[in-house]
């Protein structure tokens, strides 16, 4: 007879639960600052001091919004936990709300101030949430509540009552001073509500609900605030920009219509009635300063955090690393001189930082090394993340194991670190250099203990030595090492007992057991890098995240320059990996070429497509995302690229959202004029999935680069041609033309 489940040892039942749940150490590093794995396995005590220090730096800009822009580097080895720390600042519950900008791509050929402005706009309008709220929702609620409070306080009592019209004969009664008490109570309640601080996390639509409570129509409130803004704002350039931004936020917060704000931040700011037409750089600087004034007035710190700096700057390992790094840091210093109130956080590998910074010009080094004084912590010049203490490593292990073990009713009878022992955790914690290495070791050990997988060590010699041969004595010792089958065997040795004659770096390979796990068990890849299945899984995850970011009404418009950068990277990857479309292949790529005076629309990617032995076609590929009044302007600027002398673009491809393809009015006239001039151009309809692909590609590629030694990503041609077939056809010359 079989033993009843309840009578079986708790350790045996726990192992079954762990096998069914799968290895919780499989995802052992954070892919980006928005990775949900970080929240699932967060341990508050880990890097708690460093988190408080960084939040203290951010608070300097909250309490004194005019603080000069400064930069704090956060240094640590690859896998030290830098990205997880950034995630806890962006999404954690500690501290007040701030707008945190985390660029996913660095556009090294774009003016840094312009690049940074559109990173801020993309973050503001996008669908990504920070501490439970989109930046547009939080900033809009805070701004419009203040505007509405000031507006009500500027009105005489009888003017306030006019906002709440009495129904029917009540209007006549109010003229004689009757029935106004209830309306006054509504005004007082609304003013009291507007004076309260915003809660965190913020629930979207609070202002609309407050207006509904007092029967104040949102459209009526919006119109009244627009009139108030027109009366109170200056008529100079900064005042006009501020006025339009305020109006856009009012419409977004009260009427749930974000189109006005998105349109102004990407189009309208360049169309104001200027007495002297400003240059492209002056337009960017003027808008950036006004946006920062809005944030400073609300005491909302703007934090720009560059994560995984080595991958951000050196996406292509063939780039001149010093030149790219110098342009990047010089750009930050330029912004620090021109714009106050920005807190820069640089998360970088210690070795990369020590290699780049000492070689920079003196004036750049002076600004980068400028210390910041933080109350309670003193002067901070840089934060360094060291390997966590063993007791913190134990807490990390407990956090990963708890969700599975809690499925058992009597899980409290087990050690919180089951199936590991204190000795095993202590040993890993004191011998591994980074948290990621520790988690990777626990991953292998978990497979070994829970699934009964046999484990052996393979070795790699130093790069300067022949890579494949292994000393015979070491090979014999490793292959003869057999794992005991008891439930809690001793930990597998990572290093040989006797020092070998050459320096050895070990990599653990997990072999499948003789008896395969049940079908419900999580598949276990044989290496930390995984294969095509894992790449596609990461691809799908990033596509879904990008879809969420681009869902809001104005998000696609706000992400124009970010998407253009993604398009340039897509073409560059296709070129480097030898992707072909029918007879066509890419001969040369200019990821982003900026032209003209308009900062948003004056950008294209250029791909030189060649067919067999023919001359290459210089194909300009741009995003045509302008809507409403911006639609013909965007088209006009893009078509102007065909008029350049000498010729820069032979053929122009415009990627247009599939829900707005019609050519009407001025847009139709512009297109017909281009045809009369015999210009080669076409419009391609792009779905939401296509735009999500462009948005997600930089993050996915960074994750892939991070996973492979020395960033040597394998050839992706087959994967791209399989997953991006439609987009490839849209950005290429017509296949039948070959």
Is 168 in the same domain as 289? yes
Give a yes or no: residue 475 inside a domain.
yes
Among 511, 528, 555, identify where a domain stops: 511
Is 587 in the same domain as 702? yes
The reported pLDDT for the residue numbered 175 is 53
Among 242, 261, 296, identify where a domain stops: 296
* DSSP symbols for 508-561: EEEPPPSSPPPTTSPP--SSSS--HHHHHHHHHHHHHHHHHHH-STTHHHHTHH
> What are residue 621's DSSP bridge partners?
605, 653
What range defines the domain where residue 179 resides? 135-296
Binned at pLDDT 50, 70 and 90, residue 502 comes out as very low
* DSSP symbols for 65-95: TTPPPEEEEEEE-TTSSHHHHHHHHHHSSSS
Q: What is the pLDDT of residues 136-165, one digit of tens each?
A: 999 999 999 999 999 998 988 778 777 776
Give a yes or no: residue 684 inside a domain.
yes
Is 455 in the same domain as 353? no
Q: What is the pLDDT of residues 153-198, one digit of tens each?
A: 898 877 877 777 665 545 545 554 545 677 778 888 999 999 998 8
Q: Which of 198-212, 282-296, 389-403 has the lowest mean pLDDT?
A: 198-212
Is 407 in the same domain as 543? no
Per-residue pLDDT, averaged over 207-230, amounts to 92
The reported pLDDT for the residue numbered 710 is 66
Q: CATH no. for residue 95?
A: 3.40.50.300
Is 481 in the same domain as 435? yes
Q: What is the pLDDT of residues 99-110, one digit of tens each?
A: 999 998 898 889
Is 288 in the same domain as 402? no
Hey, what are 453's tokens?
A: 């997988």
* DSSP symbols for 149-213: HHHHHHS-HHHHHHTSPPPTTHHHHHHTT-S-HHHHHHHHHHHHHHHSPPPSSPPTTHHHHHHHH
Q: How many other CB atoms are found less than 10 A from the CB of residue 77? A: 19
Q: State which H helix or E strand residue 375 sits in.
A: none
The reported pLDDT for the residue numbered 565 is 95
Give a yes or no: residue 591 inside a domain.
yes
Q: Cα 494 to chain center, whole Å?
A: 36
Q: Distance between CA 107 and CA 402 in Å, rounded? A: 42
Q: Is the pLDDT of residue 521 over 80?
A: no
Give a yes or no: residue 206 inside a domain.
yes
Q: What are phi and psi of 3, to 5 degrees?
A: -75, 130
Is 150 in the same domain as 283? yes
Q: Is the pLDDT of residue 636 over 50?
A: yes
Give a yes or no: residue 519 inside a domain.
no
Among 322, 355, 376, identify where a domain stops: 376
Is 429 in the same domain as 454? yes
Is 314 in the same domain as 405? no
Give pairs for 461-466: CB < 8 Å, separation 24+.
Answer: 461/502, 461/504, 462/502, 462/503, 462/505, 465/502
Give a yes or no: residue 147 inside a domain.
yes
What stretches of 339-468 show up as alpha helix (H) in DSSP?
A: 350-356, 362-368, 390-405, 422-431, 435-450
Number of separate domains in the chain: 4
Q: Is the pLDDT of residue 504 over 50?
A: no
Q: How many other CB atoms are found less than 10 A from the CB of residue 478? A: 16
> Is the N-terminal amide bond of 322 cis, ω within 30° of 0?
no
Q: What is the pLDDT of residues 689-714, one digit of tens each?
A: 999 999 999 999 888 887 776 667 88
Is 47 in the same domain as 175? no
Is 140 in the same domain as 277? yes
Q: Distance between CA 703 and CA 722 in Å, rounded? A: 20
The mean pLDDT of the chain is 85
Q: Distance between CA 681 and CA 642 in Å, rounded? A: 9
Give a yes or no: residue 437 inside a domain.
yes
Q: What is the pLDDT of residues 35-70, one digit of tens each?
A: 887 888 899 999 999 999 999 999 999 999 889 999
Is 204 in the same domain as 276? yes
Per-residue pLDDT, averaged over 313-336, amounts to 83
The HSE-up count of residue 235 (CA atoms within 13 Å, CB side) is 3
Give a yes or no: residue 732 inside a domain.
yes
């Amino acid at each position: 007879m079989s033993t009843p489940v309840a009578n079986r040892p708790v350790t045996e039942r726990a192992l079954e639960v762990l096998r069914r749940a799968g290895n919780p150490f499989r995802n052992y590093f954070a892919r980006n600052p928005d990775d949900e794995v970080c929240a699932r396995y967060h341990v508050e005590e880990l890097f708690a001091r460093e988190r408080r220090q960084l939040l203290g730096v951010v608070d300097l800009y909250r309490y004194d919004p005019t603080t000069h822009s400064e930069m704090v580097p956060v240094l640590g080895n690859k896998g030290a936990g830098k990205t997880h720390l950034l995630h806890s600042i962006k999404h954690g519950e500690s501290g007040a709300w701030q707008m945190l900008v985390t660029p996913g791509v660095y556009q090294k050929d774009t003016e840094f101030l312009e690049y940074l402005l559109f990173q801020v706009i993309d973050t503001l309008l996008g669908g990504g949430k920070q501490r439970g709220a989109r930046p547009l929702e939080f900033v809009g609620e805070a701004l419009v509540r203040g505007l509405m409070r000031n507006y009500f306080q500027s009105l005489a009592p009888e003017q306030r009552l006019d906002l709440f019209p009495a129904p029917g004969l009540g209007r006549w009664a109010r003229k004689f001073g009757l029935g106004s008490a209830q309306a006054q109570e509504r005004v007082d309640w609304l003013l009291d509500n507007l004076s309260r601080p915003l809660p965190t996390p913020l629930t979207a639509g609070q202002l609309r609900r407050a207006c509904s409570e007092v029967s104040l129509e949102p459209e009526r409130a919006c119109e009244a605030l627009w009139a108030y803004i027109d009366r109170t704002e200056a008529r100079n350039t900064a005042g006009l920009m501020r006025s339009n931004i305020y109006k856009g936020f009012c419409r977004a917060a009260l009427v749930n219509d974000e189109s006005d704000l998105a349109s102004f931040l990407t189009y309208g700011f360049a169309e104001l009635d200027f007495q002297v037409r400003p240059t492209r750089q002056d337009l960017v600087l003027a808008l950036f300063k006004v946006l920062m004034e809005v944030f400073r007035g609300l005491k909302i710190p703007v934090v720009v955090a560059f994560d995984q700096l080595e991958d951000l700057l050196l996406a292509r390992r063939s780039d001149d690393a010093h030149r790219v790094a110098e342009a990047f840091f010089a750009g930050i210093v330029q912004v620090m001189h021109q714009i106050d109130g920005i807190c820069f956080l640089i998360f970088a590998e210690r070795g990369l930082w020590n290699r780049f910074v000492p070689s920079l010009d003196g004036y750049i080094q002076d600004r980068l090394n400028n210390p910041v004084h933080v109350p309670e912590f003193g002067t901070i010049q840089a934060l360094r993340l060291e390997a966590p203490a063993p007791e913190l490593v134990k807490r990390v292990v407990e956090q990963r194991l708890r969700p599975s073990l809690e499925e058992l009713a009597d899980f409290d009878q087990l050690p919180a670190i089951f199936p590991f022992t204190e000795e095993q955790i202590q040993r890993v914690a004191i011998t591994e250099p980074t948290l990621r290495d520790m988690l990777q070791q626990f991953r292998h050990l978990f497979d070994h203990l829970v699934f009964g997988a046999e484990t052996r060590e393979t070795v790699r010699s130093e790069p300067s030595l022949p890579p494949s041969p292994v000393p015979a004595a070491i090979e014999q010792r490793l292959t003869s090492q057999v794992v005991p089958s008891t439930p809690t065997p001793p930990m597998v040795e990572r290093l040989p007992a006797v020092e070998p004659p050459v320096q050895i770096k070990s990599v653990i390979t997990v072999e499948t057991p003789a008896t395969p796990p049940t079908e419900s068990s999580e598949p276990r890849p044989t290496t930390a890098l995984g294969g095509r299945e894992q790449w596609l899984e990461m691809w799908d995850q990033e596509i879904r995240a990008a879809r969420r970011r681009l869902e809001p009404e104005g998000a696609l418009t706000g992400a124009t320059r970010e998407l253009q950068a993604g398009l340039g990277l897509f073409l560059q990857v296709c070129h480097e990996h030898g992707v072909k479309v029918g007879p066509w292949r890419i001969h040369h790529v200019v990821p982003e070429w900026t032209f003209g005076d308009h900062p948003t629309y004056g950008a294209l990617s250029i791909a030189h497509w060649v067919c067999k032995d023919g001359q290459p076609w210089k194909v300009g590929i741009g995003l045509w995302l302008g809507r409403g009044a911006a639609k013909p302007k965007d088209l006009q600027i893009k078509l102007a690229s065909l008029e350049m002398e000498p010729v820069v673009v032979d053929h122009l491809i415009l990627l247009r959202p599939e829900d707005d393809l019609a050519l009407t009015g001025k847009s139709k006239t512009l297109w017909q004029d281009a045809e009369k001039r015999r210009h080669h151009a076409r419009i391609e309809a792009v779905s939401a999935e296509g735009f999500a692909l462009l948005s997600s590609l930089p993050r996915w590629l960074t994750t892939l680069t991070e996973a492979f030694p020395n960033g040597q990503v394998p050839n992706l041609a087959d994967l791209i041609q399989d997953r991006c077939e439609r987009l490839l056809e849209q950005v290429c010359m017509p296949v039948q033309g070959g």
